Amino acid sequence: MGFFLVKRLLTLIITLVATSVIVFAVLEILPGNAAQVLMGPDADPAAVAAKAVELGLDQPALGRYLHWIAGLLRGDMGLSYAYGSSVSELIGERLQLTVPLAVLAMALTALLALVVGVYAASQHNRAGDTGLMALAQLGIAVPNFWFAILLILLFSVKLQWFSAGGFDGWIFDDGVWRGLWDGLQALILPAVALAVVQAAILARFTRSAVLEVLREDFVRTARAKGLSRRATLWGHVLRNAMIPVITVMGLQFAELLAGTIVVESVFYLPGLGRLIFQSIANRDLIVVRNCVMLLAGMVVVVNFIVDVLYAAIDPRVKASEI
């Protein structure tokens, strides 16, 4: 196991370094000039050139890349061109919304998908299986932003159970539980909108994985020893079927962290996705660069954790074979 962890850590570091090079290079070749955007289209060329020097844009690309990496290692992401404040503070403020939203959406996704997938597999080729898979197919086909609008119309406009958008932050002046509930209320509808599509995809994967395991000999042995169908299904079959399911869950969680920009726009949430969108519009490349690198790092780390979980979930999987 130790060799496996060392090998995976080396892969993680190499992947992060390669990602940083790609992110920096892609943003460098994009057209546009941050100094020109900040000064305005009619600004004097001399003023634009002075602004470029102030921002360090006159330095060679290699020097700026090394300066950026050195800052990341120190925890210093630099100053935003457009906001004039620390990029670390900007990202930290947005992560207070994006991470809880992704975690809540992933929890709903896992709960719905496992229940639906296992039940559909247990009812293979029956009405329950056919009906649930038809609903799952519908869930995959429905865009999450359209479903988000439907949720707002029903629960915010019609029933008035939740607010239509906005997020005031995590405020604990009236107690921890009250603050958590007020914050979660603003995230419930966005989390449901994100979870529906992901749960539909994961439910189909779960059903397929469970059906494959149900054909194994050990399932018949467990039933022959007197275990009930439910105990066999949830205690033995599901655990062995979780290997491909965990892989998809890891990818989905990474996608939820990085791909919430549309839903954040529908609910007017100040998350990381909207920060990236606004920074691209402002040509604030230092913010875009750090946000993309952070998201890429999260994806790599999530995949690393998924790989490590393989051996813990299924003892048959040897760490050296992963």
* DSSP notation for 211-265: HHHHTSHHHHHHHHTT--HHHHIIIIIHHHHHHHHHHHHHHHHHHHHHS-HHHHH
CB 243, CB 313: distance < 8 Å: yes
According to CATH, the topology of domain 96-321 is: MetI-like fold (1.10.3720)
Q: What is the pLDDT of residues 261-296, one digit of tens each?
A: 778 888 888 888 888 888 887 777 788 888 888 888
Q: pTM, whole model, 2 decimals? A: 0.78
Which amino acid would we find at residue 165? Answer: G
Whole-number Å distance between alpha carbons of 41 and 52? 14
The distance from CA 92 to its chain's CA centroid, rounded to whole angstroms, is 16
1 vs 30, higher pLDDT = 30
Q: Where in the chain is the domain with CATH 1.10.3720.10?
A: 96-321
Supply the pLDDT for residue 108. 92
Separation CA 197–CA 141 (nearest Å): 8
DSSP 314: -
Q: What percent of the chain has pLDDT over 90?
A: 1
Q: Which amino acid appears at position 313 of this protein?
A: I
For residues 1 and 319, is the Cβ–Cβ distance under 8 A? yes
Which residue did the predictor score with more confidence, 195 or 219? Answer: 195
In this prediction, residue 319 has a pLDDT band, given cuts at 50, 70 and 90, of very low
In the block, tokens 């939203």 appear at 101
User: Rounded CA gap, 46 and 93, in Å?
Assistant: 35
Nearest alpha-carbon partner for 302 in 241, 258, 242 = 258
